[in-house]
Amino acid sequence: MSDTKKPFLNTTRRQALGLLALGASGVVMTGLPGFTRAFAQGAKDAKGQLTIGFSQEPTVFNPHMPHIEVDEGIHFSIFDPLFYVDEKGAFVAALAAEVPTVENGGISADGLSWKVKLRDDVKWHDGTPFTAEDVKFTLELLVDPNFRSWRKTGHEYVRELTVVSPTEITWKMEKPFAPYPSILASTFITPKHALGSAADRNTAPYNNAPIGTGPFKWKDRVAGDYILLEANADYFGAGPHIGKLIYKYVPDLNVMYTQFKTGDIDVVGLQWITPDHYDEAKALEGKVVTVVPGSTVESFTLNMERPQFKDPKVRQALYHAIDKQSIIDALYYGLPTPTESYVPQQSFYYNPDLPKHEYSMEKAKALLDEAGWVPGEDGIRAKDGVKLAFTCSTTAGNHIREQVQQYMQQSFKDLGIDMTISNLPPAVMWGDYWMLSKFDTVIVGLDFLTGPDPDTSDFFRSTSSPAKGGSGQNTWQFANAEVDELLAKGGSLFVPEERKAAYLKIQEIMRAELPFLPLFQYATVRGHKQGVENVVFNINTRIDTWNVGSWTVS
């Protein structure tokens, strides 16, 4: 894999402090005015249609409710943030007229006062003008205690939100928070006039027929089949160039690949082309097929509130019993890279010194024996009345993950561990079953970082578990006071070299505690038909369609 995402390696302390909040996330900033995606003539010339295949079904269309990566494929098409992170790790203005910095007066030298200037030529899809009131509404919605917010981290420090004019908004931060720029870059702005009047914003009709400012407008949805979007002719950018955009749901990855071969799908999205098809796919006529390093980390995830997983020796034994390298070589054709961390290996904050995984059934057995997990008459180990038995779930139709499950199931059985495979359709799997921690174990791929920023408060902070009434994605129900302290410390520092120590330590703790067993960092096989241009891979976002407004089809 290329080693291209190491921002600020040559940045001095003085320079980093000068950039303050926007430099704090560890990415190179740009204050480009206006919207700078590379477009041609725009929506007036939009024609034709493009079909994108997803193996998971987008089901959450309000971008501020709990959701997973595939939902963001729709969000990027319909909505815009104030600014976004491009493939080079730079912030680029979107709804904001310019990226706020210390230099342009958008952020005070102490990082506490913010002033954001907005574009004056943006309309919502229903024709209503976009204003600072919509920004204020969005930031307040995210911390509304009556709303099922997917993320409060960072937004919870915003104070004194003030609409100065339709094109200017200011606020104070309770304390400087280094990750906030990256959080804002993944915060889509929603319309006050369409959602603000709803009696219950959790169940508002808007959530199933969203209105945005983005390059495409909501047209139709057939649940379990497809979502149809159409070009926004009033888009403030020069795009989109495609008249109709179809997101097609194909849960079986073999079927999705076949439809790509036959031309029924123009672009293969999440979960892409499986490695077992790579050799054939790269030779297909009329197709562009590329292996792309991704920020996603695949893991065997544990629900830490299940009694059998509270014993750290059980978690260690399970890890020893997984032959990661054989799984990568045999099932993934050697494409992914094994990892011990949740941080992408291209990141400036990656810890390369974590203990290396060792596949050893002998050590796994010794750990269980030592901890007092004794085989019963049925051969299944038990301790204090708790059997070492659990279910393992993932997306039904992902045939490679299903083979991984079978491989693990046999290894665990040899140790006296009973793992039952219980897979579910994506909409069920990644709904409340996942978000509210109703599972025992799950095989899942996650992007833990917020763009290039190393903050993982949403995933690891003890107050970020939805199952315990929190807001976030701590579905492991993991709680560690030292990690909480390190996350707070890391978020308060603005020089990458100074921040780094906190995040290296968090990686050490997660590797030792093992609430999830890291398997590998993705290397995904992406494919689209020839003639589809501007499909740019961006390790700083969670979905391929982050710049779909700039795609063209010849």
- Encode the chain (554 residues) as per-residue pLDDT tens digits: 333 333 322 333 333 333 343 433 333 333 332 333 333 345 567 889 999 999 999 999 999 999 989 999 999 999 999 999 998 888 999 999 999 988 899 998 888 999 999 999 999 999 999 999 999 999 999 999 999 999 999 999 999 999 999 999 999 999 989 889 999 999 999 999 999 999 999 999 999 999 999 999 999 999 999 999 999 999 998 899 999 999 999 999 999 999 999 999 999 998 899 999 999 999 999 999 999 988 899 999 999 999 999 999 999 999 999 999 999 999 999 999 999 999 998 888 999 999 999 999 999 999 999 999 999 999 999 999 999 999 999 999 899 999 999 999 999 999 999 999 999 998 899 999 999 999 999 999 999 988 888 999 999 999 999 999 998 899 999 999 999 999 999 988 877 888 999 999 999 999 999 999 999 999 999 999 999 999 999 888 889 899 999 999 98
Structure token digits, residue 385: 């009345």
Decide: 436 and 399 in contact? Cβ < 8 Å: no
Does the CA dihedral 394-270-91-217 come out positive or negative? Answer: negative
* Cα–Cα–Cα angle for 39, 42, 48, rounded to 5 degrees: 105
CA 434 – CA 440 distance, rounded (Å): 10
Q: Where would I find the H helices in 178-252? A: 180-185, 192-195
Model confidence over 304-319: pLDDT tens digits? 999 999 999 999 999 9
437: left (phi over 0), alpha (psi -120 to 50) or beta: left
Q: Which of 355-394 are b and which e, b meaning 16 or more Cβ less than 10 Å from the residue's Cβ?
A: eebebeeeebbebbeebebeeeeeeebbbeeebbbbebbb
Decide: 135 and 164 in contact? Cβ < 8 Å: no
**pTM listed for this prediction:** 0.78
Structure token digits, residue 285: 């006529």
Amino acid identity of residue 365, one-letter, is K
Task: Name the nearest CA neighbour of 21 among 83, 94, 95.
Answer: 83
Task: Name the nearest CA neighbour of 318 among 260, 371, 280, 267.
Answer: 371
Strand-strand pairing, 381-383 and 242-249: unpaired
Largest CA distance in the chain: 74
Model confidence over 317-345: pLDDT tens digits? 999 999 999 999 999 999 999 999 999 98
Residue 123 C-beta-side C-alpha neighbours within 13 Å:
9
Decide: 218 and 23 in contact? Cβ < 8 Å: no
